[in-house]
């Protein structure tokens, strides 16, 4: 039989990247092979994100381009899935303006893709199937992993926090936790296939609460996975400041595989804004938490997410954010302009901030954040770090690239062998690298011969 190909375009966060690995795994099980050339594809999927308006815009822009592909190749099956599909107004737009899309499914019924493909062929009719809520966790789905040496592992799905700006609770449903045995089995399997580093995924990993007496919460899960032989590094994303427990801080001390880095989204430095965001902590509580983390793990790197221009944010509120950034001294920060999301409470707030004010604050924030990042990186110069090699640098010929335990990107020269030639490295090698210089977003170094 003639080989058929699939192409997947993924927008959004790690959750979506992980979901796309499952989509790829299911298609490969059906005999399809991956292609990086859209024109070669027989099945083309777009896994969408809805977190900010520009994600929505990118999706509709891409659909417009794909229509042309479909006109050239009418047999092409176009499927759309992911977070955007969990919203009725998006489904309505697809039905009215993009009715040529063959398959529509959501985040809760990802596993139905093979069946929907079969139905499409058998019934010769469009398949639109979105489940409004989840029907439990599907275990045992195939996956084609993006990397051989590091992997994302879901520990829980959904979010119950309902921050007033955020669409995720509506697109990913209520919180549910995977059983620890399932997670352990998956991690052991990954390690057996060569994986050195895992990143545990959940919208708020602190809410991990499986029905298990032995492993009742997230710190217990970390301890369990820390015991997996052959695994080198454990990371996780994301933890909500409001319920980061003493148990988790203790886990950093007890689990040597847990990397000294935490992504701790603050969103704003103004307690008044935080209250209207429904974040359920104050500026002072957040700063206190950072202090306790640093006391327990002095070398911990801290990164964050910050939104500027949330409805009602005053200049004073914004100055509180700048003050917090200066006090916490983040290693890095993702900064976002507040984006109105239909269906969320903040979308209805009347005191929306004009675009030019948002942009002006955004620029000031980015400058403050970058100055600190550059200084933090500068302080690493002269230190020697274990680096998990991610292969050759795409930008600098002859250099390799990787991450330090505290998640800093480093490009480095390989060490020289006895013959003076560079010792070749591959993805997944752990090497000691001396930091020789620094940039705002990355480090430069040279591997050390042991
Ligand atoms: N569950 C994660 C965040 C997922 S969304 C957490 O709570 O940490 C990733 C980031 O997108 C958020 O931390 C927030 O900073 C940003 N974000 C979410 N909704 C947004 C909106 N409406 N406008 C701008 N940024 C938003
Ligand atoms: Fe969104 Fe808040 Fe849930 Fe994070 S914790 S996914 S920001 S609602
Ligand atoms: Fe992730 Fe975007 Fe959905 S950030 S959870 S893919 S809305």
Query: Could you tell which of 157, 158, 169, 345 is best to mutate to test the pocket of ligand 2, judged by most ligand atoms within 8 Å of the CB?
Result: 169
- The DSSP code for 103 is E
Task: Report the atom number in ligand 3 closest to the C-alpha of 55.
Answer: 2
pLDDT at 62 over 70: yes
Nearest ligand to the CA of 51 is 3
pLDDT at 395: 86
Nearest alpha-carbon partner for 206 in 271, 277, 155, 279:
155
**CA 412 / ligand 3 centre spacing (Å):** 33
Rounded to 5 degrees, φ, ψ at 329 are: 60, 70
Band (pLDDT 50/70/90 cuts) for residue 397 is confident
Query: Could you tell which of 10, 11, 13, 204 is best to mutate to test the pocket of ligand 3, judged by most ligand atoms within 8 Å of the CB?
Result: 13
Rounded to 5 degrees, φ, ψ at 281 are: -150, 160
Decide: 278 in ligand 2 pocket, CB within 6 A: no
Angle at 328 between CA 322 and CA 331, to 5 degrees: 100
Band (pLDDT 50/70/90 cuts) for residue 424 is confident
* 435 and 384 Cβ atoms separated by less than 8 Å: yes
Could you give the CA distance from residue 299 to residue 383 in angstroms, rounded to a whole number? Answer: 12
pLDDT at 299: 95
How many CB atoms neighbour CB 244 within 10 A? 21
Decide: 240 in ligand 2 pocket, CB within 6 A: yes
Helix (H, G, I), strand (E, B) or coil at 256: coil
pLDDT at 287 over 90: yes
Nearest ligand to the CA of 268 is 1
Decide: 237 in ligand 3 pocket, CB within 6 A: no
Band (pLDDT 50/70/90 cuts) for residue 30 is very high
Decide: 237 in ligand 1 pocket, CB within 6 A: no
**CA 160 / ligand 3 centre spacing (Å):** 15
Q: Tell me which residue has its CA closest to atom 5 in ligand 3.
A: 168
Band (pLDDT 50/70/90 cuts) for residue 8 is very high
Could you give the CA distance from residue 23 to residue 3 in angstroms, rounded to a whole number? Answer: 18
- Let me know how many helices (H) and strands (E) the chain has, helices first: 12, 19
Strand order in the sheet with 4-10: 32-34, 4-10, 43-48, 77-82, 103-105, 127-129
Decide: 267 in ligand 1 pocket, CB within 6 A: yes
H or E, element range at 152: strand 150-154
Decide: 51 in ligand 3 pocket, CB within 6 A: yes
Band (pLDDT 50/70/90 cuts) for residue 450 is low
Decide: 159 in ligand 2 pocket, CB within 6 A: yes
Which has the higher per-residue pLDDT, 450 or 152? 152
Radius of gyration of the chain (CA): 23
Could you give the CA distance from residue 241 to residue 222 in angstroms, rounded to a whole number? Answer: 18
Decide: 12 in ligand 3 pocket, CB within 6 A: yes
pLDDT at 54: 92
**What is this structure's pTM?**
0.97
pLDDT at 449: 78
Prior bond to 332 cis, omega within 30? no
Task: Report the atom number in ligand 1 closest to the C-alpha of 166.
Answer: 19
Instruction: State pLDDT tens for residues 301-354.
Output: 999 999 999 999 999 999 999 999 999 999 999 999 999 999 999 999 999 999
* 400 and 425 Cβ atoms separated by less than 8 Å: yes
Helix (H, G, I), strand (E, B) or coil at 350: coil
End-to-end CA distance of the chain: 52
Decide: 165 in ligand 1 pocket, CB within 6 A: yes
Decide: 263 in ligand 2 pocket, CB within 6 A: no
Task: Report the atom number in ligand 1 closest to the C-alpha of 339.
Answer: 23
Could you give the CA distance from residue 136 to residue 242 in angstroms, rounded to a whole number? Answer: 26
Task: Report the atom number in ligand 1 closest to the C-alpha of 159.
Answer: 1
Task: Report the atom number in ligand 1 closest to the C-alpha of 203.
Answer: 1
Decide: 341 in ligand 1 pocket, CB within 6 A: yes
Query: Could you tell which of 8, 14, 16 is best to mutate to test the pocket of ligand 3, judged by most ligand atoms within 8 Å of the CB?
Result: 16
Band (pLDDT 50/70/90 cuts) for residue 418 is confident
Instruction: State pLDDT tens for residues 188-247.
Output: 999 999 999 999 999 999 999 999 999 999 999 999 999 999 999 999 999 999 989 999
pLDDT at 221: 98
């Amino acid at each position: 039989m003639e080989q058929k190909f699939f192409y997947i375009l993924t927008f959004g966060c790690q959750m979506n990247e992980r979901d796309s690995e499952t989509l790829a795994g299911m298609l490969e099980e059906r005999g399809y092979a991956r292609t990086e050339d859209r024109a070669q594809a027989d099945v083309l999927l777009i896994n969408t994100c809805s977190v900010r308006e520009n994600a929505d815009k990118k999706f509709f822009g891409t659909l417009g381009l794909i229509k042309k592909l479909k006109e050239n190749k009418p047999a092409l099956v176009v499927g759309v899935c992911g977070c955007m599909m969990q919203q009725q107004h998006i489904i309505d737009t697809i039905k009215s303006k993009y009715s040529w899309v063959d398959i529509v499914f959501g985040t809760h019924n990802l596993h139905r893709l093979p069946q929907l493909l079969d139905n499409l062929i058998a019934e010769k009719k469009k398949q639109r199937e979105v489940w409004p809520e989840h029907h439990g966790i599907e275990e045992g789905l195939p996956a084609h992993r993006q990397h051989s040496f590091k992997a994302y592992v879901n520990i829980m799905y959904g979010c119950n926090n309902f921050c007033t700006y955020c669409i995720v609770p509506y697109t990913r449903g209520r919180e549910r936790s995977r059983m620890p045995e399932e997670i352990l089995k998956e991690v052991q399997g990954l390690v057996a296939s060569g994986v050195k580093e895992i990143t545990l995924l959940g919208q708020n990993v602190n809410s991990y609460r499986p029905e298990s007496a032995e492993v009742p919460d997230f710190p217990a899960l970390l301890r369990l996975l820390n015991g997996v032989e052959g695994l080198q590094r454990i990371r996780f994303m994301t933890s909500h400041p409001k319920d980061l427990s003493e148990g988790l801080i203790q886990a950093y001390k007890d689990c040597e595989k847990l990397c000294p880095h935490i992504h701790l989204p603050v969103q704003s430095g103004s307690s008044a804004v935080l209250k209207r965001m429904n974040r359920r902590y104050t500026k002072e509580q957040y700063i206190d938490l950072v202090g306790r983390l640093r006391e327990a793990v002095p070398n911990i790197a801290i990164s964050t997410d910050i939104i500027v221009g949330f409805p009602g944010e005053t200049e004073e509120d914004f100055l509180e954010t700048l003050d917090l950034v200066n006090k916490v001294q983040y290693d890095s920060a993702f900064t976002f302009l507040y984006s109105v999301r239909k269906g969320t409470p903040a979308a209805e707030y009347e005191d929306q901030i004009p675009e030019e004010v948002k942009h002006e604050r955004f620029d000031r924030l980015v400058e403050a954040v970058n100055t600190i990042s550059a200084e933090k990186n500068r302080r690493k110069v002269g230190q020697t770090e274990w680096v998990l090699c991610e292969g050759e640098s795409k930008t600098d010929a002859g250099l390799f690239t990787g991450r330090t335990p505290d998640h800093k990107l480093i490009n480095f020269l390989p060490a020289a062998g006895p013959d003076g030639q560079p010792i070749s490295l591959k993805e997944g090698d752990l090497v000691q690298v001396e930091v020789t210089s620094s940039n705002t977003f990355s480090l430069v170094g040279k591997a050390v011969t042991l």
